[in-house]
Amino acid sequence: MTQHPPIIAVVPAAGVGSRMQADRPKQYLTIHGKTVLEHTFNALCDHPLITRVVVAVSHDDPYFDALSVARAPWLTRVTGGHTRSESVLAATATLPDASWALVHDAARPCLSHKDIDALIQTALTSSVAGAILATPVRDTMKRAQPDLTEPALIAHTENREHLWHALTPQMFRADQLRAALEHAQQAGIPVTDEASAMEASGHAVALVDANPANIKITRPADMPLAQFYLSALHDNS
Ligand SMILES: Nc1ccn([C@@H]2O[C@H](COP(=O)(O)OP(=O)(O)OP(=O)(O)O)[C@@H](O)[C@H]2O)c(=O)n1
Ligand SMILES: C[C@](O)(CO)[C@H](O)COP(=O)(O)O
C-alpha cells in the first residue's frame, strides 16, 4: 500500500450491556484474565497500521480508570453519548479531517489481524467511501408477525439472497463519517452502525467477507463462545 493518511481506531465503549444482565457493562467482564475491552484494544493495537485509539466511555463509568491501559500514550478518552452513534460521533470529533476512522465495538474482542488487513486494503484501494466487515447470512430467514405472541408466529420467509450481517470494524474518512453521522442525527434517521449513516448520505460502502468468529458479545451465552474464539485466535497467531 502506498502512503496514506493515518488510520485511527474509534472504540465505542459507553454501553450499559442491558441484554448481558451482568453486574457491570460487558466490556469490563473478564476473559483469560483480561477485560473484554483490553482484548479489543490488543487486537487493534497489534496492527502496525493503527496509530492511535480513541475510546468513548460513559460519563459515570467507574471501571475504565482501573485498567492498566487507561493512561497509555496511544489512547484518547472521550465521553460517550446515550446511543452508540452519539458515542462514535463524540470520538470522531477528535480526529483530523483527513484521517481514516476505523470504528470497532468494544464488545467484539475476537477480531483477527487478517480481517483488519482485508478491511484496510479494501477501504484504501477501492473506489468507495469506505468498507465494513460482514458475513453472508447462512440460515433461512423468517420474519415474525409483529404482534408479540408467545410463541412468536412466522409471517413469511425472507429472501436471503444478497443479505449480510454487518460486523465491525467499519472504516471511513473521518470528515465524511462525522458529516454523515451529524446529518443522520439532524434528520432523525436511526443508525445502528456507521455504514447506515454513510448510506443515508449517498455514499457507496463495500462489504468485506470476514470471519464470523468476530461476534458482538451481547447475551450471557456469548461469553463462553468469545472465550473459545479468543483461544483459537491466539493459538493460530
Ligand atoms: N450509548 C452507547 C451504547 C453502546 N455503545 C457501545 O456500542 C457497542 C455495541 O453496542 P451494544 O452491544 O448494543 O452495547 P450495549 O448498549 O452495551 O448493550 P445492550 O444493548 O444490551 O444494553 C458496545 O461496544 C457498546 O459499549 C456506546 O459506546 N455508547
Ligand atoms: C455496529 C453493530 O455491531 C453492527 O452489527 C451493531 O449494529 C450494533 O447494534 P446494537 O443495536 O448496538 O447491538
Work out how many domains the chain is built from and give that number.
1
Let me know: does 82 contact 9? Beta carbons within 8 Å: no
Identify whether 26 is part of a domain: yes
pLDDT of residue 187: 97
pLDDT of residue 1: 55
Question: Is the torsion defined by CA of 175, 178, 182, 183 positive or negative?
Answer: positive
Atom 19 of ligand 1: nearest residue by CA position:
17
Q: Residues with Cβ within 6 A of ligand 2? A: 84, 105, 166-168, 192-193, 216
CB neighbours of residue 209 within 10 Å: 12
Let me know: does 112 contact 215? Beta carbons within 8 Å: no
C-alpha distances in Å from residue 66, one per residue of 62, 63, 181 = 8, 6, 31
Identify whether 162 is part of a domain: no
pLDDT of residue 2: 62
Closest ligand 2 atom to 170 CA: 1
Give the domain CATH number at 231: 3.90.550.10
Identify whether 153 is part of a domain: no
d(CA 115, CA 120): 9
From its phi and psi, is residue 11 left (phi > 0), alpha (psi between -120 and 50) or beta?
A: beta
Q: What is the pLDDT of residues 74-94, one digit of tens each?
A: 999 999 999 999 999 999 999
Identify whether 160 is part of a domain: no
Q: Which stretches of the chain drop beneath a pLDDT of 50?
A: none
pLDDT of residue 14: 98
Identify whether 142 is part of a domain: no
Q: What is the ipTM of this complex?
A: 0.98
pLDDT of residue 235: 86
Identify whether 229 is part of a domain: yes
Identify whether 158 is part of a domain: no
Domain ranges, residue 71: 7-136+167-235
Identify whether 11 is part of a domain: yes
